[in-house]
Chain A
Amino acid sequence: MSEHREPTVVQKNLTRRGFLKVATGSSVALLLAACAQPVAAPTTAPAPKATEAPKPAATTAPAPAATQAPKPAATQAPAASTGAGDFDWKKYKGTSLRYVGWNDNWSQPMTSKVPEFEDLTGIKLNWEQLAQDQNRQKVQTELTAKNKDIDLIYIAPHVEGIKYYKAGWIFPLDEYMNNPKMVPPDFDMKDFAEGMLKTCNMLGKQLTLPVVSEACLFIYRKDLFEAKGVKPPENLLDMPAALDKVHSPPSMYGWVGRGTVTQNAVPWSSYLYAFGGDYLTKDRKPDVASDASLKSIQFYADVARKYGPPGMTTMNWPEAVAQMQSNRAAVITDANSFRNALDDKEKSQVVGKVGWAMFPKGPVGNTPGIWTAGTSISALSEKKEAAWYFIIWSLQKKYQTYTHGRGCPSSRTSVWNSPEGQDIRKQWPDWADNTLKTLQISNKGYSPEVVSVMEVRNAVGELIVKAMQGVTGDALKAEAEKTNKAITDIMAKTEG
């Protein structure tokens, strides 16, 4: 047993860490390259096109404009692609798919495009969108029960990837990706930021394709900050002083964030890294009782206690974002993909008033957390090909452009470089620039690199909640030691 597991741990180690590093480095280079291109020829259709797409980008793809499309015939709507190549959108018509997904910033805008998918392919899609925690419970319950009914699931490779793959639930995409008959000719696999693509590749398998390039930013109310003459803090330690100026409860709270056990570690991780800490030591021992970690927990908890609205300890991101939307909070340090929620006139009262700054530098580190997610095929599904059609459909340039426009930063280089991408960049320069900058400086995910991510993250989450409830000093250190022990136990149980 353990002999079997030994290598996988090592390998995973390699995969996760290595990939994240290589990954992001190159992805950023790519994205930056993309954006650095002046908007020279905005009139033509999206520049990059590569037909030898199937090979997963092994090397950094050259700047988008370099590749030429041998088959310009398929430029227009992919709907017309029946004749071109062997790819046929209608091949699986009459099938129906069940997708157990999230209610996140990619899925929400994509929902409105589902009729286009159904028209194009003749495949019916039932897309259940649940909050992450509920989704995880649902997916695990049903897949443990070997329910063949689920065809597609939404995963964050950093969180569920290894666990779900080892449980035998994820059907790797490599086979389909590398089969020209299964990829529309104008899809252009090389267009994905290589780093993000590799982040979705674990244990040597492509578990999903990235739908988003998420990064932690300092999201703030530009108008309030300007009115008070404050700038977004460059250093984390200056943040409380800045928050003081805009904090006037109960009408306006200085800061809001995720506080609930299952989620608070996500934004907190950026604070942790800023103070020079990490979830694990180099030799994979839990390290949340380190000085750096304790400082970051104390800092996060103090900010939440002092500037957060009531109910911080049960707040998940939708509630936290709602505080921003309803003009009740001035700052949230969280995902760049919240742009959709904050700049949507139907949901938000603060459209146009939100600024996107870099997550402040810490006293030691400067690596805000980054993240991606994507759709995976259930290994138990009996309609895997049709399921793949949804994935490949949803990641076409036009839909990546669409979600990018709705605030969900694309993982496709060409999208950032497209006329629409450039427009977005003009409209939200701080959002675009700081996203790219963050991706350039950071290679760290939000979550610890373990098999049972949620269990470990929840243990840390409990510790953070305790700090938010007022546990401090030596008592907090004692609690952190307990958390370390709990994580050791979890890892012993789940990693052999």
Chain B
Amino acid sequence: MSAIAQPRVVRRHRSWRKVLNTTLLYLAVALVICPFMFIFVWMLLSSFKTGVQQTAWPPLFIFEPTLKNYFDVFQRVPFVDYAINSVIVSVSATLLGLVFGLPAAYSIARWRQSKLAIAILTSRMVPWISFLLPWYLLFTRVGWVDTYQALILTHLIITMPMIIWLLIAFFEDIPTELEEAAMIDGCSRLGVFLKVSVPLAAPGIVASSIFSLIYSWNNFIFALILAGRKTMTLPVAVYSFMSYTEVNWGGITAAATLIALPVLILTFAIQRYLIKGLALGGVKA
């Protein structure tokens, strides 16, 4: 309204308001983000506290930090072994998921195999406990409890549908003209898939691999039952810290930090793919 009256003054007035508005906006954004970040901050802070600082009241925000908790984690439990187990399982399950999932996703996208897509989506809906129970009974018979193959096979339940689901969208985005051109040049369907489509879907492959890697790394319930001492993964290990001797919050928070850190770093490193992957996988559902 005032825009009509005094353009000059208003412009200045506007720019002042704009600054205020922007400031308020960023303040609001910061305010919104704070609670979501606070948990991580508290985890980090607690991991540098001694036992006494841990139980102080009111809780300490500023204190003399100690690294003892981190040394404890490595000294008191075979943390490195657990980490290696986690890596073996999540990487293998992701690679296998790609081997099986890539052609399937391509096929669903190219030939609009919506029934298969629905089957994949359905499998994502089934709670893991109903896979875990039969798998546990079967592995019990064949002596596979506490083996890598058991964990990798069950983690495939997590990785394969996720990879397929995310990749369908990426393959759909690849223009068919490119593939047809390659075919006219004498390329076979397999050749087209490997030489044209897969490279073009590379960002999607990265995104879906990272997603599946993280979800496999994070998985708790399968390893809780199917892993023993030899194959115990990190989430189960950190849970069992809680019941080691007394409740040692320093050790628990340090271990939690160490487990979550690779995930957080990975998320940051490939953020742009991840956000696209999430958006595509979700919106096109």
Contact = CB atoms under 8 A, between A and B. Distances in A.
Contacts of A141: 136, 145, 225
B241 to A, nearest CB: 10
Interface string B225-247: 10011100000000010111111
Contacts of A128: 229
A141 B221 CA distance: 13
Interface residues of B, number: 18
Interface in A345-384: 347
A411 B32 CA distance: 60
A390 B139 CA distance: 30
Nearest to B225: A141
A175 interface: no
Nearest to B242: A131
Contacts of A130: 240, 243-244
Given A130-B240, A134-B240, A347-B246, A145 B145 contact: yes
A129 B240 CA distance: 9
Interface string B112-137: 00000000000000000000000010
Given A144-B140, A145-B140, A103 B55 contact: no
A440 B136 CA distance: 47
Nearest to A108: B245
B146 interface: yes
B59 interface: no
Nearest to B55: A326
A131 B243 contact: yes
A133 B228 CA distance: 16
B136 A145 contact: yes
A129 B244 contact: yes
A41 to B, nearest CB: 38
A109 to B, nearest CB: 11
Contacts of B140: 144-146
A147 B247 CA distance: 29
Query: From DSSP, what is the main secondary structure of chain A's interface residues?
Result: mixed
Interface string A151-170: 00000000000000000000
A146 to B, nearest CB: 7
A149 B230 contact: yes
A98 interface: yes
B186 interface: no
Interface string A201-219: 0000000000000000000
Interface in B203-262: 225, 228-230, 240, 242-247
Contacts of B244: 103, 129-130
Contacts of B225: 141
B143 interface: yes
Query: From DSSP, what is the main secondary structure of chain B's interface residues?
Result: loop
A103 B243 CA distance: 8
A149 B143 CA distance: 11
Interface in A95-147: 98, 103, 108, 126, 128-131, 133-134, 141-142, 144-147
Interface in A253-311: none
Interface in B51-81: 55
A322 interface: yes
Nearest to B140: A145
Contacts of B145: 141-142, 145, 147
Contact of B146 (A103, A142, A319, A322): A142
A149 B229 contact: yes
Nearest to A130: B243
Contact of B229 (A126, A129, A133, A341): A126
Interface in A321-351: 322, 326, 341, 347
A18 interface: no
B240 A318 contact: no
A128 B82 CA distance: 14
A134 B243 contact: yes
A496 B10 CA distance: 89
A63 to B, nearest CB: 37
A490 to B, nearest CB: 20
A149 B228 contact: yes
A310 B132 CA distance: 36
Contacts of B228: 142, 147, 149
A341 B245 CA distance: 10
A98 B232 CA distance: 14
B170 to A, nearest CB: 40
Contacts of A98: 229
A367 B11 CA distance: 88
Given A130-B240, A142-B145, A149-B146, 10 more contacts: A98-B229, A126-B229, A128-B229, A133-B243, A145-B140, A146-B140, A147-B145, A149-B229, A341-B246, A347-B246
20 contacts: A103-B244, A108-B245, A128-B229, A129-B244, A131-B243, A134-B240, A134-B243, A141-B145, A141-B225, A145-B139, A146-B140, A147-B146, A147-B228, A149-B146, A318-B245, A318-B247, A319-B247, A322-B246, A326-B55, A341-B246
Interface of B: 55, 136, 139-140, 143, 145-146, 225, 228-230, 240, 242-247
Interface of A: 98, 103, 108, 126, 128-131, 133-134, 141-142, 144-147, 149, 318-319, 322, 326, 341, 347
